[in-house]
Chains A and B, each alone.
Chain A
Amino acid sequence: MFLAIELAWWQLTAIKLGAVLTVIPLGSLVLVYVFLFKMMSHMQSRLGPMEAGPHGSLQVLAEAGKFLQKEDIFPARADRTVFALAPVVVIVSTFMLYAVIPAGPDLVVEDLDTGIFFALAVGSISVIGVLMAGWSSASKYSLLGALRAAGQLIAYELPLVLAVVGVVIQAGTMSLQGIVTSQAQGEIFGFGLIGNPFILTQFVGFVIFILAAQAELTQTPFDMPVAESELVAGYMTEYSGFRFLFFFIAEFGTAFALAGIAATMFLGGWYVPFLPDGLLGNLIGPAVLGGKIMVIAFLIFWMRFTFPRFREDQLQAIAWKFLIPISLVNIAVTAVLKVVF
């Protein structure tokens, strides 16, 4: 530990739990305010919320409060248990993503050897929650949305994983902490000042990862499952109150986490050149990671506000005919170059 005090296991666990429980709502609130409220508004030549707090910054809290006050409605023919459980399943999946993302030399909840593998595996649990929500709502729009979501999330899971493989080959480890270290210690043709952020060598993988992450988050142009003009709100149609808020937080929490994973794998994570070790490094690390997350999130939301959405078949065609073959080629080339150099 970087602090000079020894903590019991349960104390450490409590701290970690508290940290993750703060980061998820905080991260999603920041994303909602900065991108969904402000950036979107300015891109659309309007101001967005301006009244609550300085420059409308407390509007997110007002929105959260609004959702908490709303009636918790169960549709008459809904499967009540499953309906109630679905948002929890989705948010648990988001919650577990945060367990492996390192925010500093020692700041990680659990540095698993198979960190990235774990993250992608738990990330796909949310599909079950989405299917549960769609099925139990007893609404046709929800059902269509859930089936679309299932098809899409499974299809884009593949390019997401395959894009990661290139990084794993290059770093030689699946541990996210290890990937950061290997970028920090890497050098480009003997020039090691900035390390070797994998976005330089794995640019193709980066692009594929961002596109697939966009689809995993069901954001435009891949927002078929929640297509507002077609399916009202997809699998979330029948939800209200805090259960809807759960879905909402999970969506943006996952966006934050996936941006964090992308930042860790391709932009060097918490590392910047001349980062001091010890306590100072652990304090600067989260800020650095946060900055990189905002850069990635900006890309994701920029796409979201600009493009129209794909149709289901076009969306599947992009995954199977375009992203997956390219990522396979990327893996092959990376493997060959790894042997050569």
Chain B
Amino acid sequence: MSVTSQPAPTDWQKASYVSAQAADARINLELETEGMILNIGPQHPATHGTLRIVVRLDGEEVIWAEPICGYMHRGYEKLTEVRTYPQVTTLINRIDWLGSFANEVPFILGAEQLMGIEAPPRAQWIRTILFEMARIANLTLFLGDMGVQLGALTPVFYAFRDREYVLNLIEAATGGRFHPNYDRIGGIKDDLPRGWVDECKGAMSKVRNFCDELEDLLMGNEIFQTRTRGVGVIPASIGLDYGLSGANIRASGVDWDLRRDAPSPLAWKEVDWKVWTHPDGDSFARYWVRLQEVREATSIIDQLLDGLPAGPIMTKVPKIIKVPAGEVWCHTENPLGEMGYYIVSQGGLGPFRCKIRSASFSNVSIVPWLLKGVYIPDVITILASLYFILGDIDR
């Protein structure tokens, strides 16, 4: 599990290790207790909502843990079957509620693929800009919230303060702060308002300042580093086995980002940017990667604003949208990780079946493996660094 390589143990070291283990085992037999079951959640400050984690404790050491989800299940997969395609975006906005716009995009792209149409370039660029803004709105809150989970109250207020600029811009463009419902099959609802581009650039520099500030205030802090370095290490192979995605797997050194690696009509290929990875795989690495991703997102948005093409924002689509029969899998790199929709259409007004793959559900599945043998404070660190949104787990 350890990342650094260590010299091969000598015979003497092996012998002492074995004897120590034997002694340990004997002591534990005598002092073996059942342990205490502790319910972390469903109502608990550390679970961002209603996730319940049952842990069995020996002292403060976790010997067994299981996340129990479903307290917020809203049945979106079933609901999509009785809605028309344009109505579905309203629902799926509420999956990952901090980066709502990013939820709409893969669904719309999938429907467009089935219909064989493509939005005009300006619409694709605006989609990409708002997608990255959703990423910033989502991840800045993580950057502050991690501090709260570790006991530092101040960063989260900075996060809320600077996230506000981004939310205001999203509201100015789409009409909704949290749930934009802005993406349409064949384009987007409205064009950008006048003056939006300049204001957006100002907001991006504010977000960059926020990143620098947090780097000084929280990430550079000795206590923060001792609390997070080496805590909750996910080796790349294990992470891949559990289906982790997004920053969680990039922090384990896997260079995999769907924005770059999956074919997509969105505008990421038009700009110059970098996928950040970190070799350590611990909580600190996950924080570090997300901080870099916010920075990268601001630079992506700046470049996209500079090159924003003119033209229509909507392609020609029929008044009543009927999607031809077929199946499609469309996924994008959302703030929390890979998010995808498998849409089965039978030619009706709405999807026949829609499977939603949301990142947090898979990201949380590693919790039982990861929590074994850690202490309660580290449970909180690990849960915070895995970063899940309850709506994204339960759908």
Contact = CB atoms under 8 A, between A and B. Distances in A.
Interface string B28-69: 000000001010000011100000000000001000000000
Interface residues of B, number: 31
B321 interface: no
Contacts, number: 80
Instruction: Summarize B's interface: helix, strand, loop or mixed.
Output: helix
B157 A312 contact: no
Interface residues of A, number: 28
Interface string A286-311: 00000000000000000001111111
A227 B45 CA distance: 10
Contacts of A232: 44-45
Nearest to B222: A307
B148 interface: yes
Interface in B196-229: 217-218, 221, 223-224, 226-227
B375 A313 contact: yes
Given A229-B151, A312-B377, A45 B161 contact: yes
A46 B152 CA distance: 16
Contacts of A228: 45, 151
B46 A144 contact: no
Contact of B152 (A144, A307, A314): A307
A220 B154 contact: no
B152 to A, nearest CB: 4
Contacts of B379: 230
B227 A140 contact: no
A230 B153 contact: no
Interface string B119-151: 000000000000000000000000000011111
Interface in A113-151: 140-141, 144
B151 A220 contact: yes
A306 B38 CA distance: 30
Contacts of B36: 140
B378 interface: yes
Interface string A253-286: 0000000000000000000000000000000000
B223 A230 contact: no
A232 B154 CA distance: 18
A313 to B, nearest CB: 7
Interface in A177-232: 220-221, 223-224, 227-232
A221 B377 contact: no
Contacts of A43: 154
A189 to B, nearest CB: 36
Interface string A305-338: 1111111111000000000000000000000000
Nearest to A43: B154
A144 B153 contact: no
Nearest to B377: A311
A240 to B, nearest CB: 16
A307 B226 contact: no
B308 interface: no
A275 B224 CA distance: 46
A223 B384 CA distance: 18
Given A44-B157, A220-B152, A223-B151, A308 B376 contact: no
Nearest to A226: B151
B268 interface: no
A305 to B, nearest CB: 6
7 contacts: A44-B153, A45-B161, A229-B149, A308-B151, A308-B223, A310-B223, A310-B226
Q: Which 7 A-B pairs have the closest CB atoms?
A: A309-B151, A44-B157, A308-B150, A308-B152, A311-B377, A229-B149, A308-B151
Interface of B: 36, 38, 44-46, 60, 147-154, 157-158, 161, 217-218, 221, 223-224, 226-227, 375-380, 384
